[in-house]
A = this chain, B = another copy of it.
Amino acid sequence: MFTLPQKDSGTPTTSPGSVSTQGLHSNRGDGLEREGSRKPDQKPLKLYGVGDPTAMFFSDSPYLSSRGSTIKWFWDSAEEGYRTYHMDEYDEDENPSGIINLGTSENKLCFDLLSRRLSQSDMLRVEPSLLQYPDWRGHLFLREEVARFLSFYCRSPAPLKPENVVVLNGCASLFSALATVLCEVGEAFLIPAPYYGAITQHVYLYGNVRLVCVYLESEVTGLETRPFQLTVEKLEMALAGANSEGVKVKGLILINPQNPLGDVYSPGELQEYLKFAKRHELHVMVDEVYMLSVFEESVGYHSVLSLERLPDPQRTHVMWATSKDFGMSGLRFGTLYTENQDVATAVSSLCRYHGLSGLVQYQMAQLLRDRDWINQVYLPENHARLKAAHTYVSEELRALGIPFVSRGAGFFIWVDLRKYLPAATSEEEMLLWRRFLDNKVLLSFGQAFECKEPGWFRLVFSDKTHRLRLGMQRVRRVLEGKSQVAEDAPSC
Protein backbone atom coordinates (compact mmCIF):
# COMPACT_ATOMS: atom_id res chain seq x y z
CA MET A 1 0.00 0.00 0.00
CA PHE A 2 1.29 3.41 -0.76
CA THR A 3 -0.13 6.83 -1.14
CA LEU A 4 1.23 9.78 -2.98
CA PRO A 5 0.62 13.38 -2.22
CA GLN A 6 -1.16 15.37 -4.86
CA LYS A 7 -0.45 18.99 -5.54
CA ASP A 8 -3.93 20.43 -5.70
CA SER A 9 -4.91 23.48 -7.59
CA GLY A 10 -7.84 25.77 -7.06
CA THR A 11 -10.25 25.91 -9.97
CA PRO A 12 -12.93 28.46 -10.79
CA THR A 13 -16.32 27.36 -9.54
CA THR A 14 -17.99 28.60 -12.69
CA SER A 15 -16.09 26.24 -14.95
CA PRO A 16 -17.94 23.36 -16.63
CA GLY A 17 -16.30 20.80 -14.37
CA SER A 18 -16.94 22.57 -11.09
CA VAL A 19 -18.36 20.51 -8.29
CA SER A 20 -22.03 20.27 -7.60
CA THR A 21 -23.05 19.85 -4.01
CA GLN A 22 -26.50 18.49 -4.67
CA GLY A 23 -27.58 15.34 -2.91
CA LEU A 24 -26.58 11.85 -3.98
CA HIS A 25 -29.12 9.67 -5.66
CA SER A 26 -29.46 5.98 -5.57
CA ASN A 27 -29.32 4.63 -9.10
CA ARG A 28 -30.30 1.01 -8.87
CA GLY A 29 -31.62 0.88 -12.40
CA ASP A 30 -28.09 1.30 -13.64
CA GLY A 31 -26.84 -1.65 -11.61
CA LEU A 32 -25.21 0.67 -9.09
CA GLU A 33 -26.00 0.78 -5.45
CA ARG A 34 -25.60 3.94 -3.41
CA GLU A 35 -27.09 5.40 -0.35
CA GLY A 36 -26.37 8.22 2.02
CA SER A 37 -25.17 11.65 0.99
CA ARG A 38 -22.19 13.92 1.55
CA LYS A 39 -21.82 15.00 5.14
CA PRO A 40 -22.34 18.69 5.70
CA ASP A 41 -18.79 19.18 6.93
CA GLN A 42 -17.25 17.81 3.72
CA LYS A 43 -15.32 20.30 1.61
CA PRO A 44 -15.82 20.61 -2.15
CA LEU A 45 -13.61 18.15 -3.97
CA LYS A 46 -10.58 19.08 -6.01
CA LEU A 47 -11.02 18.56 -9.72
CA TYR A 48 -7.57 17.39 -10.60
CA GLY A 49 -4.12 16.88 -9.13
CA VAL A 50 -0.64 16.62 -10.57
CA GLY A 51 1.27 13.78 -8.97
CA ASP A 52 4.73 14.28 -7.52
CA PRO A 53 5.98 10.85 -6.51
CA THR A 54 9.20 12.24 -5.03
CA ALA A 55 7.56 14.49 -2.50
CA MET A 56 7.27 12.03 0.34
CA PHE A 57 10.75 10.73 0.97
CA PHE A 58 14.43 11.50 0.86
CA SER A 59 17.52 9.65 -0.29
CA ASP A 60 18.51 7.28 2.46
CA SER A 61 21.16 5.00 1.05
CA PRO A 62 24.81 5.81 0.44
CA TYR A 63 24.81 3.16 -2.26
CA LEU A 64 21.90 4.30 -4.39
CA SER A 65 21.26 7.18 -6.71
CA SER A 66 18.43 9.51 -5.73
CA ARG A 67 16.15 7.75 -8.22
CA GLY A 68 17.39 4.42 -6.82
CA SER A 69 16.26 5.55 -3.38
CA THR A 70 12.89 6.55 -4.83
CA ILE A 71 12.56 3.15 -6.43
CA LYS A 72 13.49 1.42 -3.19
CA TRP A 73 11.01 3.60 -1.29
CA PHE A 74 8.20 2.40 -3.52
CA TRP A 75 9.10 -1.17 -2.68
CA ASP A 76 9.36 -0.55 1.05
CA SER A 77 6.13 1.40 1.34
CA ALA A 78 4.11 -0.56 -1.20
CA GLU A 79 4.84 -3.75 0.63
CA GLU A 80 3.63 -2.73 4.06
CA GLY A 81 0.24 -4.44 3.94
CA TYR A 82 1.48 -7.32 1.85
CA ARG A 83 4.46 -7.97 4.07
CA THR A 84 2.16 -8.27 7.04
CA TYR A 85 -0.08 -10.52 4.99
CA HIS A 86 2.71 -12.74 3.71
CA MET A 87 4.03 -13.25 7.22
CA ASP A 88 0.66 -14.48 8.37
CA GLU A 89 -1.23 -15.83 5.36
CA TYR A 90 -4.48 -17.60 6.02
CA ASP A 91 -4.44 -21.31 5.40
CA GLU A 92 -7.52 -23.40 6.10
CA ASP A 93 -5.54 -26.17 7.78
CA GLU A 94 -2.26 -24.69 8.88
CA ASN A 95 -3.09 -21.10 9.75
CA PRO A 96 -6.85 -20.67 10.08
CA SER A 97 -6.38 -17.47 12.06
CA GLY A 98 -4.11 -15.99 9.39
CA ILE A 99 -4.92 -12.98 7.25
CA ILE A 100 -7.53 -13.26 4.49
CA ASN A 101 -6.47 -11.26 1.45
CA LEU A 102 -9.38 -9.34 -0.07
CA GLY A 103 -6.96 -6.68 -1.25
CA THR A 104 -5.07 -8.16 -4.18
CA SER A 105 -6.99 -8.23 -7.42
CA GLU A 106 -6.48 -11.82 -8.42
CA ASN A 107 -9.00 -14.37 -9.57
CA LYS A 108 -8.54 -17.41 -7.36
CA LEU A 109 -11.71 -19.13 -8.51
CA CYS A 110 -10.42 -21.12 -11.48
CA PHE A 111 -7.06 -22.61 -10.60
CA ASP A 112 -8.56 -26.07 -11.08
CA LEU A 113 -9.53 -25.31 -14.68
CA LEU A 114 -6.26 -23.57 -15.42
CA SER A 115 -4.10 -26.25 -13.84
CA ARG A 116 -5.81 -28.93 -15.87
CA ARG A 117 -5.43 -27.03 -19.13
CA LEU A 118 -1.85 -25.85 -18.56
CA SER A 119 -0.76 -29.33 -17.47
CA GLN A 120 -1.83 -30.96 -20.71
CA SER A 121 1.00 -32.41 -22.71
CA ASP A 122 0.60 -29.90 -25.54
CA MET A 123 1.89 -27.22 -23.19
CA LEU A 124 5.43 -28.53 -22.93
CA ARG A 125 7.20 -28.10 -26.21
CA VAL A 126 10.92 -27.45 -26.35
CA GLU A 127 12.45 -26.68 -29.67
CA PRO A 128 15.61 -24.78 -30.58
CA SER A 129 13.83 -21.69 -31.86
CA LEU A 130 12.12 -21.29 -28.49
CA LEU A 131 15.46 -21.46 -26.68
CA GLN A 132 17.23 -18.97 -28.92
CA TYR A 133 17.04 -15.20 -28.87
CA PRO A 134 13.49 -14.31 -29.86
CA ASP A 135 12.12 -11.55 -31.98
CA TRP A 136 11.79 -9.06 -29.14
CA ARG A 137 8.29 -8.09 -30.32
CA GLY A 138 7.33 -11.68 -29.57
CA HIS A 139 7.50 -14.79 -31.71
CA LEU A 140 5.46 -14.37 -34.88
CA PHE A 141 3.35 -17.47 -34.14
CA LEU A 142 2.25 -15.84 -30.90
CA ARG A 143 1.61 -12.41 -32.38
CA GLU A 144 -0.54 -14.06 -35.04
CA GLU A 145 -2.47 -15.86 -32.35
CA VAL A 146 -2.92 -12.69 -30.31
CA ALA A 147 -4.21 -10.84 -33.40
CA ARG A 148 -6.76 -13.60 -34.04
CA PHE A 149 -7.72 -13.77 -30.38
CA LEU A 150 -8.26 -10.02 -30.04
CA SER A 151 -10.11 -9.86 -33.37
CA PHE A 152 -12.56 -12.40 -32.05
CA TYR A 153 -13.01 -11.37 -28.42
CA CYS A 154 -12.82 -7.62 -29.04
CA ARG A 155 -15.17 -8.04 -32.01
CA SER A 156 -13.04 -5.87 -34.25
CA PRO A 157 -14.79 -4.79 -37.47
CA ALA A 158 -11.79 -6.03 -39.50
CA PRO A 159 -9.15 -8.66 -38.66
CA LEU A 160 -6.39 -7.29 -36.47
CA LYS A 161 -2.82 -7.62 -37.70
CA PRO A 162 0.15 -9.40 -36.14
CA GLU A 163 2.49 -6.54 -37.08
CA ASN A 164 0.52 -4.28 -34.75
CA VAL A 165 1.02 -6.66 -31.83
CA VAL A 166 3.88 -6.47 -29.36
CA VAL A 167 4.15 -9.15 -26.71
CA LEU A 168 5.84 -8.67 -23.35
CA ASN A 169 5.86 -9.77 -19.72
CA GLY A 170 2.76 -7.97 -18.47
CA CYS A 171 0.98 -4.64 -18.59
CA ALA A 172 3.13 -3.14 -15.84
CA SER A 173 6.03 -3.34 -18.29
CA LEU A 174 3.87 -1.98 -21.05
CA PHE A 175 2.96 1.11 -19.03
CA SER A 176 6.65 1.60 -18.30
CA ALA A 177 7.63 1.28 -21.95
CA LEU A 178 4.82 3.47 -23.28
CA ALA A 179 5.50 6.21 -20.75
CA THR A 180 9.16 6.24 -21.74
CA VAL A 181 8.71 6.30 -25.49
CA LEU A 182 5.78 8.76 -25.54
CA CYS A 183 6.90 11.29 -22.92
CA GLU A 184 9.92 13.27 -21.97
CA VAL A 185 10.97 13.20 -18.33
CA GLY A 186 8.44 15.07 -16.19
CA GLU A 187 5.62 15.02 -18.74
CA ALA A 188 2.32 13.49 -17.79
CA PHE A 189 -0.67 11.33 -18.60
CA LEU A 190 -4.23 12.12 -17.57
CA ILE A 191 -6.00 9.41 -15.63
CA PRO A 192 -9.49 9.39 -14.14
CA ALA A 193 -9.33 8.71 -10.40
CA PRO A 194 -9.99 6.49 -8.54
CA TYR A 195 -7.66 4.25 -10.56
CA TYR A 196 -5.46 1.20 -10.08
CA GLY A 197 -2.72 2.94 -8.11
CA ALA A 198 0.23 0.84 -9.24
CA ILE A 199 0.15 2.71 -12.55
CA THR A 200 1.77 5.62 -10.70
CA GLN A 201 4.89 3.50 -10.28
CA HIS A 202 4.71 1.91 -13.70
CA VAL A 203 5.00 5.22 -15.51
CA TYR A 204 7.32 6.83 -12.97
CA LEU A 205 9.99 4.38 -11.82
CA TYR A 206 11.75 4.05 -15.16
CA GLY A 207 9.95 6.66 -17.21
CA ASN A 208 9.77 9.59 -14.80
CA VAL A 209 6.32 10.34 -16.12
CA ARG A 210 3.65 11.74 -13.82
CA LEU A 211 -0.07 11.25 -13.65
CA VAL A 212 -2.59 14.06 -13.63
CA CYS A 213 -5.63 12.77 -11.78
CA VAL A 214 -9.05 13.62 -13.09
CA TYR A 215 -10.93 13.35 -9.83
CA LEU A 216 -14.32 11.72 -10.07
CA GLU A 217 -16.86 11.92 -7.33
CA SER A 218 -19.42 9.57 -5.94
CA GLU A 219 -22.24 12.06 -6.04
CA VAL A 220 -24.71 11.59 -8.85
CA THR A 221 -25.24 14.93 -10.52
CA GLY A 222 -27.90 14.21 -13.12
CA LEU A 223 -30.28 11.69 -14.57
CA GLU A 224 -27.82 10.36 -17.10
CA THR A 225 -24.89 10.09 -14.75
CA ARG A 226 -23.69 7.49 -12.33
CA PRO A 227 -21.34 7.65 -9.36
CA PHE A 228 -17.73 8.46 -10.33
CA GLN A 229 -18.90 9.33 -13.82
CA LEU A 230 -16.16 10.43 -16.21
CA THR A 231 -17.15 13.29 -18.47
CA VAL A 232 -15.35 15.18 -21.19
CA GLU A 233 -15.85 18.33 -19.15
CA LYS A 234 -13.82 16.84 -16.33
CA LEU A 235 -11.11 15.78 -18.75
CA GLU A 236 -10.98 19.26 -20.27
CA MET A 237 -10.81 20.82 -16.86
CA ALA A 238 -7.97 18.62 -15.67
CA LEU A 239 -6.03 19.14 -18.88
CA ALA A 240 -6.44 22.90 -18.69
CA GLY A 241 -5.41 22.83 -15.04
CA ALA A 242 -2.28 20.82 -15.74
CA ASN A 243 -1.40 23.09 -18.65
CA SER A 244 -1.84 26.12 -16.44
CA GLU A 245 0.75 24.65 -14.09
CA GLY A 246 3.15 24.14 -16.96
CA VAL A 247 2.73 20.38 -16.97
CA LYS A 248 2.83 18.97 -20.46
CA VAL A 249 0.22 16.23 -20.86
CA LYS A 250 0.94 13.66 -23.57
CA GLY A 251 -1.75 11.09 -23.12
CA LEU A 252 -4.83 9.75 -21.42
CA ILE A 253 -5.08 6.41 -19.65
CA LEU A 254 -8.46 4.67 -19.67
CA ILE A 255 -9.10 1.45 -17.79
CA ASN A 256 -12.07 -0.42 -19.23
CA PRO A 257 -13.58 -2.29 -17.40
CA GLN A 258 -12.52 0.16 -14.76
CA ASN A 259 -10.47 -0.75 -11.70
CA PRO A 260 -11.58 -0.19 -8.91
CA LEU A 261 -15.10 0.83 -10.03
CA GLY A 262 -15.96 -2.32 -11.96
CA ASP A 263 -17.60 0.03 -14.43
CA VAL A 264 -17.55 -0.16 -18.23
CA TYR A 265 -17.68 2.63 -20.77
CA SER A 266 -20.38 2.68 -23.43
CA PRO A 267 -19.29 3.00 -27.08
CA GLY A 268 -20.64 6.54 -27.03
CA GLU A 269 -18.61 7.47 -23.97
CA LEU A 270 -15.51 5.87 -25.44
CA GLN A 271 -15.95 7.87 -28.62
CA GLU A 272 -16.29 11.08 -26.63
CA TYR A 273 -13.12 10.43 -24.66
CA LEU A 274 -11.23 9.50 -27.81
CA LYS A 275 -12.41 12.63 -29.59
CA PHE A 276 -11.33 14.73 -26.62
CA ALA A 277 -7.90 13.13 -26.91
CA LYS A 278 -7.74 13.72 -30.64
CA ARG A 279 -8.60 17.41 -30.21
CA HIS A 280 -5.58 17.77 -27.96
CA GLU A 281 -3.32 15.32 -29.83
CA LEU A 282 -3.15 13.07 -26.79
CA HIS A 283 -2.24 9.42 -26.98
CA VAL A 284 -4.86 7.15 -25.44
CA MET A 285 -3.77 4.01 -23.65
CA VAL A 286 -6.77 1.77 -23.13
CA ASP A 287 -6.12 -0.88 -20.50
CA GLU A 288 -8.58 -3.71 -21.16
CA VAL A 289 -7.12 -6.36 -18.85
CA TYR A 290 -10.57 -7.17 -17.45
CA MET A 291 -12.36 -7.33 -20.80
CA LEU A 292 -13.28 -11.03 -20.46
CA SER A 293 -14.16 -10.67 -16.79
CA VAL A 294 -17.54 -9.04 -17.42
CA PHE A 295 -19.65 -11.63 -15.65
CA GLU A 296 -23.01 -9.87 -15.71
CA GLU A 297 -24.73 -10.71 -18.99
CA SER A 298 -26.75 -7.50 -18.96
CA VAL A 299 -23.59 -5.40 -19.10
CA GLY A 300 -22.73 -4.67 -22.71
CA TYR A 301 -18.97 -4.46 -22.85
CA HIS A 302 -17.32 -2.85 -25.86
CA SER A 303 -13.63 -2.99 -26.46
CA VAL A 304 -12.13 0.09 -28.05
CA LEU A 305 -11.05 -2.27 -30.83
CA SER A 306 -14.72 -2.95 -31.61
CA LEU A 307 -15.35 0.64 -32.66
CA GLU A 308 -16.11 1.04 -36.32
CA ARG A 309 -13.78 3.99 -36.63
CA LEU A 310 -11.19 5.24 -34.16
CA PRO A 311 -10.92 9.03 -34.12
CA ASP A 312 -7.11 8.87 -33.98
CA PRO A 313 -5.88 5.34 -34.63
CA GLN A 314 -2.22 6.42 -34.65
CA ARG A 315 -2.56 7.57 -31.07
CA THR A 316 -4.75 4.77 -29.74
CA HIS A 317 -2.90 1.95 -27.99
CA VAL A 318 -4.66 -1.02 -26.47
CA MET A 319 -3.35 -3.16 -23.62
CA TRP A 320 -4.41 -6.64 -22.68
CA ALA A 321 -2.94 -9.46 -20.60
CA THR A 322 -3.77 -12.90 -19.27
CA SER A 323 -3.19 -11.81 -15.66
CA LYS A 324 -6.80 -11.03 -14.91
CA ASP A 325 -8.95 -12.62 -17.59
CA PHE A 326 -7.14 -15.93 -17.25
CA GLY A 327 -6.37 -15.55 -13.56
CA MET A 328 -2.64 -15.89 -14.06
CA SER A 329 -0.89 -12.79 -12.76
CA GLY A 330 2.19 -14.94 -12.15
CA LEU A 331 2.36 -16.04 -15.77
CA ARG A 332 3.57 -12.61 -16.93
CA PHE A 333 2.05 -12.23 -20.35
CA GLY A 334 0.77 -8.97 -21.75
CA THR A 335 0.32 -7.44 -25.15
CA LEU A 336 0.07 -4.11 -26.92
CA TYR A 337 -2.05 -3.51 -29.97
CA THR A 338 -1.28 -0.34 -31.89
CA GLU A 339 -1.44 0.70 -35.51
CA ASN A 340 1.38 3.15 -34.91
CA GLN A 341 4.54 1.45 -36.10
CA ASP A 342 6.82 4.04 -34.50
CA VAL A 343 5.28 3.29 -31.13
CA ALA A 344 5.30 -0.47 -31.75
CA THR A 345 8.97 -0.36 -32.75
CA ALA A 346 10.07 1.82 -29.86
CA VAL A 347 8.22 -0.40 -27.37
CA SER A 348 9.75 -3.45 -29.05
CA SER A 349 13.20 -1.96 -28.57
CA LEU A 350 12.51 -1.85 -24.83
CA CYS A 351 11.19 -5.41 -24.92
CA ARG A 352 14.77 -6.61 -24.45
CA TYR A 353 14.02 -5.76 -20.83
CA HIS A 354 10.49 -7.10 -20.79
CA GLY A 355 10.93 -10.37 -22.62
CA LEU A 356 9.18 -13.59 -21.73
CA SER A 357 10.42 -17.11 -22.19
CA GLY A 358 10.00 -18.79 -25.57
CA LEU A 359 8.44 -21.73 -23.71
CA VAL A 360 5.80 -19.45 -22.21
CA GLN A 361 5.18 -17.83 -25.58
CA TYR A 362 4.45 -21.28 -26.95
CA GLN A 363 2.12 -22.04 -24.03
CA MET A 364 0.24 -18.79 -24.46
CA ALA A 365 -0.26 -19.42 -28.17
CA GLN A 366 -1.65 -22.87 -27.32
CA LEU A 367 -3.98 -21.40 -24.75
CA LEU A 368 -5.26 -18.52 -26.90
CA ARG A 369 -5.97 -20.75 -29.86
CA ASP A 370 -7.96 -23.26 -27.83
CA ARG A 371 -11.32 -21.64 -28.44
CA ASP A 372 -13.26 -24.74 -27.49
CA TRP A 373 -11.80 -24.73 -24.03
CA ILE A 374 -12.09 -20.97 -23.65
CA ASN A 375 -15.67 -20.75 -24.90
CA GLN A 376 -17.11 -24.01 -23.65
CA VAL A 377 -15.23 -24.53 -20.42
CA TYR A 378 -13.29 -21.62 -19.06
CA LEU A 379 -15.34 -18.50 -19.72
CA PRO A 380 -18.79 -19.86 -18.79
CA GLU A 381 -17.47 -21.44 -15.60
CA ASN A 382 -15.34 -18.44 -14.69
CA HIS A 383 -18.23 -16.06 -15.19
CA ALA A 384 -20.58 -18.25 -13.20
CA ARG A 385 -18.13 -18.43 -10.32
CA LEU A 386 -17.41 -14.69 -10.42
CA LYS A 387 -21.12 -13.99 -10.39
CA ALA A 388 -21.79 -16.30 -7.46
CA ALA A 389 -18.96 -14.80 -5.44
CA HIS A 390 -20.11 -11.31 -6.32
CA THR A 391 -23.67 -12.13 -5.31
CA TYR A 392 -22.53 -13.49 -1.96
CA VAL A 393 -20.44 -10.43 -1.10
CA SER A 394 -22.92 -7.88 -2.36
CA GLU A 395 -25.68 -9.51 -0.33
CA GLU A 396 -23.49 -9.44 2.75
CA LEU A 397 -22.87 -5.75 2.15
CA ARG A 398 -26.56 -5.08 1.71
CA ALA A 399 -27.27 -6.92 4.92
CA LEU A 400 -24.78 -4.63 6.64
CA GLY A 401 -26.38 -1.59 5.06
CA ILE A 402 -23.21 -0.63 3.27
CA PRO A 403 -23.46 1.22 -0.02
CA PHE A 404 -21.23 0.13 -2.84
CA VAL A 405 -20.50 0.58 -6.52
CA SER A 406 -20.32 -2.45 -8.74
CA ARG A 407 -21.61 -3.14 -12.18
CA GLY A 408 -20.80 -6.72 -13.04
CA ALA A 409 -17.22 -6.55 -14.27
CA GLY A 410 -13.87 -7.19 -12.64
CA PHE A 411 -13.02 -8.88 -9.37
CA PHE A 412 -13.90 -6.14 -6.89
CA ILE A 413 -16.60 -4.08 -5.29
CA TRP A 414 -15.96 -0.44 -4.50
CA VAL A 415 -17.32 -0.09 -1.02
CA ASP A 416 -18.44 3.10 0.67
CA LEU A 417 -17.39 2.96 4.33
CA ARG A 418 -17.44 6.72 4.81
CA LYS A 419 -20.03 6.50 7.52
CA TYR A 420 -17.62 4.43 9.60
CA LEU A 421 -15.02 7.21 9.71
CA PRO A 422 -15.31 9.58 12.69
CA ALA A 423 -13.99 12.30 10.38
CA ALA A 424 -13.63 12.38 6.60
CA THR A 425 -9.85 12.27 6.57
CA SER A 426 -7.27 10.02 5.02
CA GLU A 427 -5.85 9.37 8.50
CA GLU A 428 -9.17 7.91 9.61
CA GLU A 429 -9.35 5.84 6.44
CA MET A 430 -5.92 4.47 7.22
CA LEU A 431 -6.94 3.70 10.81
CA LEU A 432 -9.93 1.74 9.58
CA TRP A 433 -7.68 -0.14 7.13
CA ARG A 434 -5.30 -1.04 9.93
CA ARG A 435 -8.19 -2.18 12.05
CA PHE A 436 -9.22 -4.55 9.26
CA LEU A 437 -5.65 -5.81 9.08
CA ASP A 438 -5.46 -6.24 12.84
CA ASN A 439 -8.61 -8.29 12.50
CA LYS A 440 -6.93 -10.42 9.86
CA VAL A 441 -8.54 -9.19 6.70
CA LEU A 442 -6.61 -7.19 4.10
CA LEU A 443 -8.52 -4.64 2.01
CA SER A 444 -7.30 -1.81 -0.21
CA PHE A 445 -8.07 1.70 0.92
CA GLY A 446 -9.19 4.49 -1.33
CA GLN A 447 -6.01 6.55 -1.03
CA ALA A 448 -4.18 3.82 -2.91
CA PHE A 449 -6.47 4.62 -5.84
CA GLU A 450 -6.14 8.38 -5.42
CA CYS A 451 -9.75 8.59 -4.37
CA LYS A 452 -10.37 12.02 -2.91
CA GLU A 453 -13.27 10.95 -0.74
CA PRO A 454 -11.86 9.24 2.36
CA GLY A 455 -13.69 6.07 3.32
CA TRP A 456 -13.90 4.12 0.10
CA PHE A 457 -12.34 0.65 0.00
CA ARG A 458 -11.84 -1.92 -2.73
CA LEU A 459 -12.97 -5.37 -1.73
CA VAL A 460 -11.92 -8.27 -3.95
CA PHE A 461 -14.53 -11.02 -4.14
CA SER A 462 -12.93 -13.42 -6.64
CA ASP A 463 -11.94 -15.96 -4.03
CA LYS A 464 -13.15 -19.31 -2.77
CA THR A 465 -16.28 -19.42 -0.64
CA HIS A 466 -14.64 -20.44 2.61
CA ARG A 467 -12.15 -17.60 2.47
CA LEU A 468 -14.77 -15.08 1.37
CA ARG A 469 -17.10 -16.12 4.13
CA LEU A 470 -14.43 -15.77 6.78
CA GLY A 471 -13.19 -12.53 5.28
CA MET A 472 -16.66 -11.02 5.31
CA GLN A 473 -17.19 -12.17 8.92
CA ARG A 474 -14.08 -10.27 9.87
CA VAL A 475 -15.15 -7.22 7.89
CA ARG A 476 -18.48 -7.32 9.67
CA ARG A 477 -16.82 -7.68 13.06
CA VAL A 478 -14.67 -4.62 12.45
CA LEU A 479 -17.52 -2.55 11.13
CA GLU A 480 -19.84 -3.43 13.92
CA GLY A 481 -17.17 -2.42 16.41
CA LYS A 482 -16.08 0.55 14.35
CA SER A 483 -19.62 1.67 13.80
CA GLN A 484 -20.07 2.06 17.53
CA VAL A 485 -16.85 4.06 17.74
CA ALA A 486 -18.05 6.34 14.97
CA GLU A 487 -21.40 6.83 16.67
CA ASP A 488 -19.70 7.42 19.98
CA ALA A 489 -17.25 9.89 18.59
CA PRO A 490 -19.41 13.05 18.74
CA SER A 491 -19.92 12.61 22.46
CA CYS A 492 -16.18 12.79 23.10
Which residues of A are interface residues toward B (Cβ below 8 A)?
A: 61, 63-69, 71-72, 74-76, 86, 104, 106, 108, 111, 114-115, 118-119, 123-135, 169-170, 172-173, 176, 180-185, 187, 198, 201-202, 205-206, 250, 283, 314-315, 327-333, 340, 342-343, 345-346, 348-350, 352-360, 363
Known contacts A172-B353, A330-B357, A345-B72; A183 and B65 CB within 8 A of each other: yes
**A132: B residues at CB distance < 8 A:** 106, 108, 329-330
Q: Is B330 touching A358 in the complex (CB atoms < 8 A)? A: yes
Bound-state Cα–Cα, A69 to B350, Å: 12
**A360: B residues at CB distance < 8 A:** 357, 359-360
Bound-state Cα–Cα, A345 to B70, Å: 11
Q: Which of B71, B104, B346, B357 contacts A180 (CB 8 A)?
A: B71
Q: Is A343 touching B64 in the complex (CB atoms < 8 A)? A: yes
Q: Which of B63, B124, B206 contacts A182 (CB 8 A)?
A: B63
Known contacts A63-B314, A106-B133, A131-B329; A180 and B350 CB within 8 A of each other: no
Q: Nearest chain B CB to A274's CB is how many angstroms away?
A: 16
Q: Which of B114, B198, B359 contacts A131 (CB 8 A)?
A: B114
Bound-state Cα–Cα, A134 to B170, Å: 13
Q: Is B206 touching A354 in the complex (CB atoms < 8 A)? A: no
Q: Is A114 touching B133 in the complex (CB atoms < 8 A)? A: no
Bound-state Cα–Cα, A64 to B63, Å: 33
Q: Is A330 touching B134 in the complex (CB atoms < 8 A)? A: yes
Q: Is B331 touching A358 in the complex (CB atoms < 8 A)? A: yes
Q: Is A169 touching B72 in the complex (CB atoms < 8 A)? A: no
**A201: B residues at CB distance < 8 A:** 352
Q: Which of B66, B250, B353 contacts A184 (CB 8 A)?
A: B66
**A353: B residues at CB distance < 8 A:** 169, 172-173, 176, 202, 205-206, 353-354
Q: Is A71 touching B349 in the complex (CB atoms < 8 A)? A: yes
Known contacts A63-B314, A128-B108, A182-B68; A331 and B346 CB within 8 A of each other: no
Q: Nearest chain B CB to A75's CB is how many angstroms away?
A: 4
Among A66, A172, A355, max chain B CB count under 10 A is at: A355
Q: Nearest chain B CB to A76's CB is how many angstroms away?
A: 7
**A187: B residues at CB distance < 8 A:** 65
Q: Is A182 touching B65 in the complex (CB atoms < 8 A)? A: yes
Q: Which of B250, B342, B356 contacts A169 (CB 8 A)?
A: B356
